[in-house]
Amino acid sequence: MAIDHARPARASSERTTVRRRRGWRGRGLTIALAAALAAGALATVPAALGTAPAEAAAAGWWEPPNRPAEDVELNVSGEPFTGTTANGEVRGLIDSHTHLNSNEGFGGHLICGAPFSPNGVADALKDCPEHYPDGSAALFENLVSGDADGKHDPVGWPTFTDWPKTTSMTHQASYYAWVERAWRGGQRILVNDLVTNGVICSLPIMPKDRSCDEMTAIRLEAQKAREMESYIDDIYGGAGKGFFRIVTTPAEARSVIEQGKLAVVLGVEMSEPFGCKMILDVAQCSKADIDRGLDEFAAMGVSSIFLCHKFDNALCGVRFDPGTQGTIINIGQFYSTGTYWKTEACTGPHHDNPIGNAPPPEELPGAEPPTYPSEAQCNTRGLTSLGEYALKAVMARNMMVEVDHMSVKAAGRTLDILEADDYPGVLSSHSWMDENWTERLYKLGGFKTSYPHAAEGFIEEWQDGAALREQYDKGYGVGLDFNGIGGHPGGGSSDVTVEYPFTAADGTTVVERQVSGERTFDVNTDGFVHSGLLPDYVEQLRLAGGGDELVGDLMSGAESYLQTWEATAAHESSQNLATGKPAWASSNENNPFTSYAASRAVDGRDNTRWASGNWGASPQWLRVDLGDSQPISRVSVNWESAAAKAYEVQVSDDAQNWRTVWSTTAGNGGLDTASFAATSARHVRVLCTERTTNYGYSITELGVFAG
């Protein structure tokens, strides 16, 4: 979800999961295959090349027998591709971040219109009642939209005079048949993020007909997603026959995609998950609340989650929104927490979005957010101790975690924790992460997609990441964020013209202009107004300079996402070989009230630590005896604030002769993970040679992991 999107400012270890090389690199291969199939040259190998079986073609399984007589049109032709490539990979576009059911959140009156209705399209695609007769009472819409006069024609179906459009933030953009059109044009995965925001719901300008409780809204959206699946099944002739399939495992997703259908994955994006808001820096949830909430999400079939979104909460700080939207969100932050955002100078190349110091809108009287210095662009709030507990609880349930919307301080600590456990389940789905984190994300095995900027901006972001995608063999995708209160590329935003009809990304589907009632949508003049224009947008990207290479990367996105999900589902935490083993240190700080002995760094607890004595002296060291020779390839060091700027990880067979397997001169504290070629050793030592503070060296926990 976004209140608008501004593009953020911008060493490899072997993984245990073997990744298959992507075989899908562009449209040329598919076009050639289609020509060969038409000539009968490949009749003996249809399944291996992703073509549909002859019996499926005869049945026309992709044409639903019970579509309502009155409905929007698809305006596409051609049989959806099925099966896998010759090396067993799926193909298809991925929308990694969208909100099909957000009309049920925010008190029920923020997103007007629904993705489906048993009463048909006229009931689904209608405006909120308070928007009649001229939209002037649509206070939130007028606050965030691009309408200059604060009015709009509220009538949706069949005229659609003023919506959907790219500058309208509160009207339905993911009607089921628009999603169906995107599927027919090559999309094979959709991540449906269940979303709400209790503070926005509670604003005095917001009408509502239900509770603002976030967990209640998420439950309802999950229920509506299942009802939507059943509704589409009925149109397609019965249970399980629809194109729209909610999946809870990567194996289910592969099966659905191989049938040529759309795999729908459930995620959660909310500002106060599990009730974990904070008031005046006091957490309003407990560890039990987190575990109970995650268990409920797992039972719903949720596979990915944001720990924070828009407002700082009890788990983590957020990456700011810029400009006027940033001011609005900061005011919401105050309503939610009792405090405005707090900033500090960034300590490295990573930074949060600049807040911008825009004046508060007149619609929010009495708000007085502070003025922020331009050199202070980082949120002071990172991942809290409760947030670390929540992250590890997510990992324990083999869920994927989103780092978009996290402050750089929170995202950095999150990546530290994931690296310490070699955990691959990390996502950045809609351009809300500092680009400098990308290699760490890919190195873990994570997956990244982009918000749908105007074509040239999207292509630039794709090009910027090309080298890393090639290095780590990653596909690409889009996080459309429809129904997420974010703007989309308008008509005329690209210099190129999409000529209708055109051939979609799959190389065979023919796409015409999309017709909804009395309205015909053209991506050239209307822009990317609803999810059904995904094929049109991809064609625009191709023409604007992305070419077949960009299309190929996008068609590899589904496979790349599944590889991340599979590695996450299969992940088992490594045993810390150091826990409970004998440990020694060069010196220990003396304290009459507690012990800072070496053993405190290997006791499996984060609230104890080893601290060196002789503060002015270096080097200092901490070592552990594993008991016998072990194959090891990873050592994690969780520093207390007294950390080492320069240190080495050393191993030995006899505790006398040491060899260095990893070193740094740029340590900055936190949680470090040293990965190196697997080697066998009985003893492991951290040799500290330069301090980050005037104190000594202090380690809360030392981790040693097998190769």
Q: Where does the pLDDT of residue 146 fall: very low under 50, low under 70, confident under 90, or very high at 90 and above? A: low
Which residue would you say has higher pLDDT here, 611 or 4? Answer: 611
Which pairs with CB-CB distance under 8 Å and at least 24 residues apart come from 539-544?
Answer: 539/498, 539/502, 539/504, 539/505, 539/511, 540/455, 540/494, 540/496, 540/498, 541/455, 541/458, 541/459, 542/27, 543/496, 543/497, 543/498, 544/455, 544/456, 544/459, 544/494, 544/495, 544/496
Q: Where does the pLDDT of residue 359 fall: very low under 50, low under 70, confident under 90, or very high at 90 and above? A: confident
CA–CA distances in Å: residue 686 to residues 287, 650, 658:
33, 6, 11
CA–CA distances in Å: residue 531 to residues 165, 528, 538, 541:
11, 8, 12, 15
Structure confidence by residue, pLDDT tens digits, 426-475: 999 999 999 999 999 999 999 999 999 999 999 999 999 999 999 999 99
Q: Does residue 53 have a cis peptide bond before it, meaning omega lies within 30 degrees of 0?
A: no
The confidence score (pLDDT) of residue 15 equals: 38
Structure confidence by residue, pLDDT tens digits, 634-646: 999 999 999 999 9
The confidence score (pLDDT) of residue 4 equals: 53
Q: Give SS3 for 440.
A: helix
The confidence score (pLDDT) of residue 148 equals: 66
Mean pLDDT of the chain: 90
Give CA–CA dist 586/375, Å, rounded: 41
Structure confidence by residue, pLDDT tens digits, 645-693: 999 999 999 999 999 999 999 998 999 999 999 999 999 999 999 999 9
Q: Where does the pLDDT of residue 123 fall: very low under 50, low under 70, confident under 90, or very high at 90 and above? A: very high
The confidence score (pLDDT) of residue 347 equals: 87
Structure confidence by residue, pLDDT tens digits, 211-224: 999 999 999 999 99
What is the rounded average pLDDT of the residues 14-40? 40
Give CA–CA dist 194/495, Å, rounded: 35
Report percent pLDDT > 90 for the chain.
Answer: 80
Q: Where does the pLDDT of residue 29 fall: very low under 50, low under 70, confident under 90, or very high at 90 and above? A: very low
The residue whose two tokens read 């301090």 is: 691
Give CA–CA dist 369/665, Å, rounded: 40
The confidence score (pLDDT) of residue 2 equals: 62
Report percent pLDDT > 70 for the chain.
Answer: 91
Give CA–CA dist 318/197, Å, rounded: 14
Residue 554, Cα to own-chain centre: how many angstroms?
A: 16
For residue 549 the two structure tokens come to 């290479």
For residue 400 the two structure tokens come to 């994927």
The residue whose two tokens read 């889009």 is: 478
- Where helices occur in 490-617 by DSSP H, the ranges are 523-526, 534-541, 547-555, 557-570
The whole-model pTM stands at 0.90
Q: Where does the pLDDT of residue 19 fall: very low under 50, low under 70, confident under 90, or very high at 90 and above? A: very low
Structure confidence by residue, pLDDT tens digits, 315-328: 999 999 888 888 88
CA–CA distances in Å: residue 125 to residues 135, 384, 491:
16, 42, 22
| CB 128 within 8 Å of CB 122 | no
Structure confidence by residue, pLDDT tens digits, 571-619: 999 999 999 999 999 999 999 899 999 999 999 998 999 999 988 889 9
| CB 662 within 8 Å of CB 649 | yes
| CB 651 within 8 Å of CB 681 | yes
What is the rounded average pLDDT of the residues 122-134? 96
Which residue would you say has higher pLDDT here, 655 or 47? Answer: 655
The confidence score (pLDDT) of residue 38 equals: 36
Structure confidence by residue, pLDDT tens digits, 487-512: 899 999 999 999 999 999 999 999 99
Which residue would you say has higher pLDDT here, 576 or 50? Answer: 576
| CB 567 within 8 Å of CB 421 | no
Give CA–CA dist 341/383, Å, rounded: 15
* Whether the predicted pLDDT of 539 surpasses 80: yes
Structure confidence by residue, pLDDT tens digits, 328-350: 889 888 988 999 999 999 988 99
Q: Where does the pLDDT of residue 58 fall: very low under 50, low under 70, confident under 90, or very high at 90 and above? A: very low
